[in-house]
């Protein structure tokens, strides 16, 4: 065991070292953090001094930056304005153009002439005309100035133009907004909040030269001085709390430790990675991976990562929260983390099942196992599908995001992430489902020939089991149609994988596409359920608002108002902008958030009216008689005021506002409770909370509401009055124990789904029936494309990623292949017109919508103008203000009249008097109408960040020129189709088409270029000397002829090569024979002469016989030696080419050899780890050996060859496994013998040469396994 552990640790030392190091750091941090915290606690006094000094310094630095910025801005504007005024002595449009440059946006800049008349300004104005007269500050001195709602950092300066007179320039930067709006349009500006958040302590700023330092010892004040050294404000902050600081320090340590813990577990995983690969059992390996990811997720959850570090919409539970798994999906971000981990597990499962199935050469199990596999697999498959359905139901019901109702083409961050989440959820599900199908199929399939029929049988069984499964469920998830489609699509994907010979990363695109279709369909289905459920919610909503609730709202608003410094300031200063002060109270109360018809009113000590702000309450009802009569000293609520002219009743309250027990005045709050008006109608968009638009599943306008009190119909909301039998049906409906029920009503031949709720209130019975036309449940293509558009962006991104990944994997450079050219051409031809059409349609709709708005606004302006003129013509002495009020009432058009640039009248005057909309005419409108001679002008404006369109025209009334202005913020103009709807439909459907075009283009480009690619590969193979194959020819036309010609050419080449080789051999033999003869002749002649000399000497009985004998013998021996040498040389000449041994990487040689078979009917899979195995061998001979082995496999009927490379002891093993016929038992011992072959045209040399080669490099080759289902040849190389 210890040895095994040592082995493990040795393999990946660096990761284990890091793991240990991180654990040690975590441990050390755990020890030192309490020490540091304690030390800080003990030295808190000195720490506090240092912190206070630091904050003081930082605040001064911040103020200094702001002052520098405004001075820079003033200098720039002054210089530019000076140039313009020098060139044009009379102010004109150039001045407006200059001030309204984009880089001045958000600031308030005004130019005054020497009579203090404003001659140019920016859209956001902080009018300072009155301050010019007060001369509180010297020209050029920075100071703070305040309007009713905001405080600005201001500077006023003089501008002398030689020969052009004196001008004043005022530049203001907003620093503090006192109101808050709870919606996305609100632009918050608050220096005090910014400082509070930055320094984590409470800041109060008194923007006044007379502001005083705090006397509270728990606080610290710092002075803000102007550029002239005068006090202009005092900033006071609470000295940071010791406990908060210590808690923050602890939090920092915990954050750090959490991150280290996660990194350490990843290091551990990396360290064990190689060992994972050594687990031979796939299932065990999968179990280990599953366990690791489960532990990782649990750890992330326990440490609250990533939510600990990220705040905002991604971690907002209102966007999605489910209690599933203790809360591992408690927010969109946590859901992402969980689902990504799930995806990795599913991906690993799929890859392993894929490999398992593709290398499956086991014997088919018995029938019981098969039946069990199908049943168990189908059960798992269907439970898993049910899980996906349940998850999507939760995504709809546990979320406030309305995926099909969001405005705009692109979703917000949270919605976008959730859409990615459920796409990934579906993708994981599809991968698991396909894995289950492939696995079951691998167990069920007998042999390859019967695969397809068995596949369809399994498919049919799954479909039948799906129906049975749904029948057994009390509440099936999704619809039968979606289930059938899901099973069909996953089987198609599995079929493609099972029967397509080549592995394809693009399978994941198909999976993602299936996921998108299924998840959006399920989402759409559950959305209709939610819409139905919203009838219930509406009934609850109608009963939610009661006296208690309204009284609470008033009490809350009044209590906050009575303690607010702003209220005290307003009443003390006797200022005139009480409307602003009333708006401040209203905006900070729940009244704004709830969009309730309500008002806030300021009264003086004698209860005389000072000013008010209200929404949808006529000013005459804003103060009830009880409020005026009230003489008490405490906050008081009244709820019995029912004016005869009003449908509902008024609930109101009053609170005296005191300072140091001295009564300053009163604040009154009023709420109109009108059961018939469920919501405030025509609330300007910039005041709406997001509730209306997003948080309701169905548009309220589509609902019909019938309210019964004691069985009598008392209120109807909507355009349908129920008939008697409808009323009977509602009143006598059978209610459940929760006092509610669902019924269907047939109204005007349309089916209405109706929810009925019975409530008891004040001893009377109340029935609320909420109906929705069944057809209005939005199951539509629009919904599908709304989400599919986003999914298609993800899918196309995935496609691009796969493309780049493949590109990198091949040659690391872009290859401009024939296929690529074809694909590019197809895409270009198909997509260009689509993109062009999409943008054209969008532009067209936008223009039409704008034209519709302008037409309607123009018509409104014209109606108002005609009304005013007609009435003035009959009676010129009529008050124009009163006439304008009548026009607003009679025509129901909201408008404003300007006398020059000043507001003269507005039907929404309180928005101007409260300071929400500037009472100065928009500078662009003024410039165009006054300076540039336009008669009418259209402009886009903004309140906060809410955009709207204004139409302005010059009109003459009673001999005086006015500017009439109407906008679409107060005059709602319905559009038949909004730009967003067009965007969604166009881009959604076009993106869907784009994905289809990409898929079809890829298929077509592959198909057309396939023979060319085959020929290219074939040519490469021929070039490398491999003639042993034929290009498949199932083409038509010229391509067929080309391939036939090529194959014929290969055959001819092969034959010619054989003939040539034969000829060469013959020639070589002849030449050799001639050479041999020639070489042999040379020594034979001296031998012959010597023997003849010896014979003569012998016959002559020569006395020198002995000597001659010796000499002749020497000669003969010498020539025999020569003959021997000649024989050796010839022998050496005939030997095999010399082996060139070199260092090489085994993997690359195997890859080169395998590449030659890419276009052939053989699947070659290589399985190896990431290590580079270096061996010493002859590269060409090794490659030839591998090619030889693969060819042998093919000739043995194999369609799959799997090559495994791994290290075993001191050797590198290379296994060549095939699924061919195998080697007969009687042949097994002879396969490496010379001249042994079972092939018709074989020479019996291939394996012999392979063996000889392997032996020459001190390796070995052997038949490791063989059976009728395949053979394993093992090549062993010495490890270098």
Partner 1 sequence: MKKFFINVKIRLFILLNVLLIALNAMLFAQFQQQKVQLKEQKPALEIPKSIFGKIEEGIAVRDLDKFSKFFGAQTYLSIPNRNPGYYSSDQVFYILQDYFRIFKPVSFRFLIISEKSDNPYASGYYKFESKGIRGTAQVYISLKQAGGNWKISQITIN
Residue holding tokens 């919605």?
A: 415
User: SS3 for 464-506, per residue?
Assistant: HHHHHHHHHCCCCCCCHHHHHHHHHHHHHHHHHHHHCCCCCCC
Which of the residues 496 through 515 are near partner 1 (CB under 8 A)?
none
Buried b (16+ CB within 10 A) or exposed e, 313-345: bbbebebbbbeeeeebbbbbbbbbbbbbbbbeb
Please name the helix (run of DSSP H) or strand (run of DSSP E) that holds residue 742, with its range, or none.
strand 740-747
Q: Does 537 bind partner 1 (CB under 8 A)?
A: yes
Q: Kindly state whether residue 122 participates in binding partner 1, applying the rule CB under 8 A.
A: no
Among 259, 390, 878, 1274, binds partner 1 (CB under 8 A): 390
Out of 146, 220, 330, 965, the residue judged to bind partner 1 by CB under 8 A = 330
Number of residues that bind partner 1 (CB under 8 A): 80
Asked whether the beta carbons of 984 and 782 are under 8 A apart, the reply is: yes
Rounded to the nearest whole angstrom, what is the least distance from the CB of residue 286 to partner 1 in the complex?
Answer: 6
CB of 255 to partner 1, least distance (A): 15
Residue 709 C-beta: closest distance to partner 1, Å? 14
* Least separation in angstroms between CB 592 and partner 1: 10
Whether omega before 947 lies within 30 degrees of 0, making that bond cis, reads no
* Least CB distance to partner 1 at residue 1227 (A): 22
8 Å CB contact between 1236 and 1230: yes
Q: Using CB under 8 A, which residues numbered 681 to 710 contact partner 1?
A: 689-691, 694-696
CA 504/CA 717 separation, integer angstroms:
58
Position of tokens 């309210």?
Answer: 707
Range in contact with partner 1 (rule: CB under 8 A) among 222-230, 587-595, 609-617, 1179-1187:
587-595
Tell me which of 302, 310, 375, 383 binds partner 1, using CB under 8 A.
383
- Among 1167, 1104, 1147, residue whose Cα is nearest residue 352: 1167
Determine if 421 is a binding residue for partner 1 (CB under 8 A): no
**What's the rounded Cα separation, in Å, for the pair 583 and 913?**
10
Instruction: State the Cα–Cα distance between residues 737 and 62, nearest whole angstrom.
Output: 63
Nearer to partner 1, 214 or 689 (CB): 689
Q: Does 565 bind partner 1 (CB under 8 A)?
A: no
- Tell me the closest approach of the beta carbon of residue 411 to partner 1, in angstroms: 16
Q: Residue 78, CB half-sphere, CA atoms under 13 Å: how many?
A: 21
From 224-232, 311-319, 480-488, 794-802, span contacting partner 1 (CB under 8 A)? 311-319
- Choosing from 4, 363, 620, 812, the residue that interacts with partner 1 (CB under 8 A) is 363
- 317 backbone dihedrals φ, ψ, rounded to 5°: -65, -20
CA 775 – CA 772 distance, rounded (Å): 8
Q: What share of the chain is helix, strand, coil (3-state, %, to 5)?
A: 55, 20, 25
When asked if residue 315 is in the footprint of partner 1 (CB under 8 A), the reply is yes
Nearer to partner 1 (CB atom), residue 283 or residue 859: 283
CA 404 to chain centroid, in Å, comes to 17
Does 52 participate in binding partner 1 (rule CB under 8 A)? no
Binder to partner 1 among 56, 194, 351, 398 (CB under 8 A)? 398
Measured CA to CA, the distance from residue 841 to residue 918 in angstroms comes to 37
Residue 587 binds partner 1, judged by CB under 8 A: no
How many Å apart are CA 769 and CA 754, to the nearest integer?
6
Strand 1163-1168 and strand 1200-1208: the pairing is parallel
Q: How far is the CB of 312 from partner 1 (least distance, A)?
A: 10
Q: Within positions 198 to 227, which residues make up the interface with partner 1, using CB under 8 A?
A: 199-202
| The one among 186, 253, 324, 1027 contacting partner 1 by CB under 8 A | 324
Please, what is the minimum distance in Å from the beta carbon of residue 367 to partner 1? 14
Q: In terms of CB distance, is 131 or 693 closer to partner 1?
A: 693
Q: How far is the CB of 348 from partner 1 (least distance, A)?
A: 12
> Residue with structure tokens 């990675």?
273
Could you tell me the end-to-end alpha-carbon distance of the chain, in angstroms, rounded to an integer? Answer: 29
Q: Which among 132-140, 323-331, 1005-1013, 1196-1204 is the span making contact with partner 1, rule CB under 8 A?
A: 323-331
The CB-of-508 to partner 1 minimum distance in angstroms stands at 22
DSSP letter, residue 364: P
Task: Dump strand ranges (E) for 1146-1269.
Answer: 1163-1168, 1174-1177, 1200-1208, 1211-1218, 1260-1267
Selected range binding partner 1 among 375-383, 483-491, 844-852, 1254-1262, rule: CB under 8 A? 375-383
Instruction: Determine if 371 is a binding residue for partner 1 (CB under 8 A).
Output: no
Closest contact distance (angstroms) between CB of 1264 and partner 1 is: 15
Nearer to partner 1, 167 or 673 (CB): 673
Please report, as residue ranges, which positions from 169 to 198 form the binding site for partner 1 (by CB under 8 A).
182, 196-197
Instruction: Pick between residue 328 and residue 1175 the one whose CB is nearest to partner 1.
Output: 328
Give the largest Cα separation in the chain, rounded: 176
Bridge partners of 614, per DSSP, are 599
Q: Looking at residues 224 to 283 of the shown chain, list those that interact with partner 1 (rule: CB under 8 A).
A: 238, 240-241, 244-245, 281-283
- Contacts of partner 1 in 1047-1076 (CB under 8 A): none
Q: Does 322 bind partner 1 (CB under 8 A)?
A: yes
Q: Of 400, 852, 1256, 1260, which lies in the binding site for partner 1, with binding defined by CB under 8 A?
A: 400
Query: Smaller CB distance to partner 1: residue 290 or 803?
Result: 290
Residue with tokens 């007060």: 134
Sign of CA dihedral 36, 37, 43, 45: positive
Residue 437: partners with Cβ closer than 8 Å, 6 or more residues away: 377, 381, 458, 462, 490, 491, 494
Q: Measured between alpha carbons, how far is 573 from 575 in angstroms, rounded to an integer?
A: 5
What is the length of the chain? 1280
Q: What is the spatial distance between Cα 667 and Cα 656, in angstroms, rounded to a whole number?
A: 7
Q: Is 287 in the site for partner 1 (CB under 8 A)?
A: yes
- Is 640 in a helix, a strand, or coil? strand
Nearest distance from residue 537's CB to partner 1, in Å? 5
Q: Determine if 597 is a binding residue for partner 1 (CB under 8 A).
A: no
Count Cα neighbours of 407 within 13 Å in the Cβ-side half-sphere: 9
| Interaction residues for partner 1, span 1230-1269 (CB under 8 A) | none
Q: For residue 128, state whether it binds partner 1 (rule: CB under 8 A).
A: no
- The residue within the footprint of partner 1, chosen from 506, 540, 609, 1109 (CB under 8 A), is 540
State yes or no: residue 552 binds partner 1 (CB under 8 A). yes
CB of 1253 closer than 8 Å to CB of 1206: no
Residues 998-1017 that bind partner 1 (CB under 8 A): none
Taking the complex as a whole, the smallest distance from the CB of residue 287 to partner 1 amounts, in Å, to 5
Contact predicate 689/595, CB 8 Å: yes
Binder among 397, 609, 818, 1109 for partner 1 (CB under 8 A): 397
Scan residues 701-760 and list those touching partner 1 (CB under 8 A): 737-738, 759-760
Task: Enter the tokens of residue 753.
Answer: 């789904």
One residue of 76, 618, 659, 761 binding partner 1 per CB under 8 A: 761
The DSSP call for residue 1276 is E
Q: How far is the CB of 778 from partner 1 (least distance, A)?
A: 19
Query: Can you say how many angstroms the Cα of residue 752 is from the centroid of all Cα atoms in its chain?
Result: 38
Tell which one of 181, 235, 268, 321 touches partner 1 (CB under 8 A).
321
Contact flag: residue 634 with partner 1 (CB under 8 A): no
Residue selected from 502, 544, 732, 749 as contacting partner 1 according to rule CB under 8 A: 544
CB nearer partner 1, residue 159 or residue 697: 697
Q: Which two tokens stand for residue 248?
A: 């923050």
Q: Which position among 209, 387, 947, 958 is part of the footprint of partner 1 (CB under 8 A)? A: 387
Q: Is 318 a residue that touches partner 1 (CB under 8 A)?
A: yes
């Amino acid at each position: 065991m210890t040895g095994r552990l040592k082995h493990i640790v040795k393999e990946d030392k660096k990761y284990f070292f890091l793991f240990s190091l991180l654990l040690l750091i975590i441990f050390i941090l755990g020890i030192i953090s309490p020490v540091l915290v304690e030390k800080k606690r003990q030295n808190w006094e000195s720490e506090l001094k240092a912190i206070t000094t630091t904050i003081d310094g930082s605040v001064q630095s911040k103020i200094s930056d702001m002052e520098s910025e405004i001075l820079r801005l003033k200098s720039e504007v002054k210089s530019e304005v000076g140039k313009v005024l020098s060139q044009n002595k009379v102010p004109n449009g150039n001045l407006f153009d200059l001030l309204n440059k984009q880089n001045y946006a958000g600031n308030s800049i005004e130019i005054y002439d020497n009579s203090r008349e404003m001659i140019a300004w920016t859209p956001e104005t902080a009018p300072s005309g009155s301050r010019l007269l007060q001369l509180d500050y010297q020209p050029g001195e920075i100071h703070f100035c305040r309007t009713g709602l905001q405080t600005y950092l201001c500077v006023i300066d003089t501008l002398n133009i030689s020969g052009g007179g004196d001008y004043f320039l005022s530049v203001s930067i907003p620093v503090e907004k006192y109101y808050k709006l709870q919606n996305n349009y609100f632009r918050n500006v608050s220096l005090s909040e910014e400082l509070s958040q930055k320094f984590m302590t409470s800041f109060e700023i008194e923007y006044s030269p007379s502001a005083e330092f705090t006397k509270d010892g728990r606080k610290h004040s710092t002075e803000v001085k102007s550029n002239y050294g005068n006090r202009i404000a005092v900033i006071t902050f609470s000295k940071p709390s010791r406990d908060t600081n210590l808690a923050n320090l602890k939090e920092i340590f915990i954050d750090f430790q959490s991150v280290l813990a996660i990194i350490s577990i990843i290091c551990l995983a990396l360290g064990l990675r190689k060992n994972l690969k050594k687990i031979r059992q796939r299932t065990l390996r999968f179990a280990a991976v599953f366990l690791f990811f489960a532990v990782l997720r649990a750890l992330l959850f326990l440490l609250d990562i990533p939510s600990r570090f990220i705040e905002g919409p991604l971690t907002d539970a209102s966007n999605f929260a489910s209690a599933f798994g203790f809360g591992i999906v408690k927010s969109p971000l946590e859901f992402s983390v969980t689902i990504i981990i799930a995806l990795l597990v599913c991906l690993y499962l799929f890859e392993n099942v894929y490999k398992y199935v593709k290398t499956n050469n086991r014997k088919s199990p018995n029938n019981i196992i098969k039946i069990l596999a199908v049943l168990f697999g189908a059960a798992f498959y269907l439970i898993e599908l049910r899980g996906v359905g349940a998850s999507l139901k939760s995504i709809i019901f546990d979320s406030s995001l309305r995926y099909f109702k969001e405005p705009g083409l692109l979703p917000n961050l949270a919605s976008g992430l959730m859409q990615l989440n459920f796409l990934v959820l579906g993708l994981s599900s599809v991968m698991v489902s396909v894995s289950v199908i492939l696995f079951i199929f691998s167990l069920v399939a007998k042999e390859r020939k019967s695969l397809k029929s068995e596949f369809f049988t399994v498919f049919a069984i799954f479909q039948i089991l799906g129906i049975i499964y749904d029948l057994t469920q009390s509440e099936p998830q999704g619809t039968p149609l979606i289930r059938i489609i899901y099973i069909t699509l996953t089987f198609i994907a599995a079929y493609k994988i099972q029967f397509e010979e080549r592995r394809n990363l693009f399978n994941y695109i198909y999976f993602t596409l299936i996921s998108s279709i299924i998840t959006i369909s399920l989402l759409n289905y559950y959305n209709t359920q939610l819409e139905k459920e919203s009838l219930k919610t509406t009934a609850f909503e109608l009963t939610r608002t009661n006296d208690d609730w309204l009284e609470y709202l008033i009490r809350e608003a009044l209590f906050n108002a009575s303690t607010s410094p702003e209220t005290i300031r307003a009443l003390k200063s006797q200022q005139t902008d009480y409307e602003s002060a009333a708006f401040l109270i209203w905006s900070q109360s729940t009244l704004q958030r709830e969009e309730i018809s309500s008002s806030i009113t300021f009264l003086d000590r004698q209860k005389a009216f000072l000013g008010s702000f209200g929404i949808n309450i006529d000013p005459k009802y804003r103060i009830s008689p009880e409020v005026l009569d009230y003489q008490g000293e405490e906050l008081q609520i009244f709820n019995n005021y029912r004016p005869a002219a009003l449908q509902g009743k008024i609930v109101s309250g009053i609170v005296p506002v005191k300072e140091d027990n001295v009564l300053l005045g009163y604040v009154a709050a009023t709420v109109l409770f009108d059961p018939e008006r469920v919501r405030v109608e025509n609330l300007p968009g910039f005041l709406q909370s997001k509730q209306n638009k997003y948080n309701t599943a169905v548009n309220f306008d589509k609902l019909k509401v019938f309210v019964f009190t004691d069985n009598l119909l008392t209120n109807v909301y909507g355009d349908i009055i129920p008939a008697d039998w409808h009323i009977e049906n509602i009143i006598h409906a059978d209610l459940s124990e929760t006092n509610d029920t669902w019924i269907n009503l047939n109204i005007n031949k349309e089916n209405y789904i109706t929810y009925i709720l019975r409530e008891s209130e004040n001893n009377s019975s109340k029935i609320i029936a909420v109906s929705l036309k069944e057809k209005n449940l939005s199951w539509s293509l629009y919904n599908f494309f709304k989400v599919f558009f986003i999914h298609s962006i993800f899918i196309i991104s995935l496609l691009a990623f796969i493309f780049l990944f493949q590109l990198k994997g091949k040659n690391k450079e872009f290859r401009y292949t024939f296929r690529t050219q074809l694909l590019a051409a197809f895409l270009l031809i198909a997509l260009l017109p689509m993109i062009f059409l999409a943008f054209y349609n969008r532009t067209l709709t936008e223009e039409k919508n704008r034209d519709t708005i302008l037409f309607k606004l123009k018509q409104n302006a014209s109606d108002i103008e005609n009304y005013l003129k007609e009435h003035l013509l009959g009676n010129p002495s009529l008050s124009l203000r009163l006439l304008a009020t009548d026009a607003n009432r009679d025509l129901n058009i909201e408008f404003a009249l300007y006398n020059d640039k000043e507001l003269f009248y507005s039907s929404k005057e309180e928005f101007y008097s409260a300071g929400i909309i500037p009472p100065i005419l928009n500078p662009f409108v003024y410039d165009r109408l006054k300076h540039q001679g336009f008669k009418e002008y259209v402009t886009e404006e903004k309140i906060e960040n809410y955009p709207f369109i204004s139409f302005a025209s010059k009109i003459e009334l009673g001999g005086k020129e006015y500017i009439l202005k109407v906008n679409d913020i107060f005059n709602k103009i319905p559009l038949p189709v909004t730009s967003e709807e067009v965007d969604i439909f166009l881009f959604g459907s076009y993106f869907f088409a784009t994905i289809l075009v990409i898929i079809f283009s890829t298929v077509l480009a592959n198909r057309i270029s396939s023979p060319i690619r085959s020929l290219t590969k074939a040519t490469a193979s021929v070039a490398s000397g491999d003639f042993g194959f034929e290009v498949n020819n199932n083409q038509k036309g010229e391509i067929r002829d080309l391939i036939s010609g090529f194959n014929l050419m290969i055959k001819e080449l092969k034959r010619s090569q054989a003939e040539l080789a034969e000829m060469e051999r013959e020639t070589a033999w002849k030449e050799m024979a001639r050479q041999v003869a020639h070489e042999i002749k040379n020594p034979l002649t001296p031998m012959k002469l010597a023997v003849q000399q010896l014979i003569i000497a012998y016959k002559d009985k020569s006395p020198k016989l002995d000597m001659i004998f010796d000499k002749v013998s020497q000669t003969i021996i010498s020539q025999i030696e020569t003959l021997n040498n000649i024989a050796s040389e010839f022998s050496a000449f005939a030997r095999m080419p010399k082996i060139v041994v070199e260092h090489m990487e085994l993997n690359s040689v195997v890859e080169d050899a395998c590449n030659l078979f890419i276009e052939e009917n053989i699947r070659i899979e290589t399985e190896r780890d990431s290590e580079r195995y270096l061996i010493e061998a002859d590269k060409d001979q090794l490659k030839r050996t591998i090619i030889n082995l693969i060819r042998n496999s093919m000739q043995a009927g194999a369609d799959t060859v799997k090559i495994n490379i791994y290290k075993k002891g001191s050797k590198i093993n290379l296994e060549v496994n095939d699924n061919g016929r195998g080697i007969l038992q009687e042949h097994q011992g002879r396969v490496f013998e010379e001249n042994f072959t079972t092939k018709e045209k074989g020479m019996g040399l291939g394996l012999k040469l392979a063996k000889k080669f392997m032996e020459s490099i001190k390796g070995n080759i052997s038949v490791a396994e063989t059976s009728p289902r395949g053979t394993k040849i093992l090549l062993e190389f010495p490890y270098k």
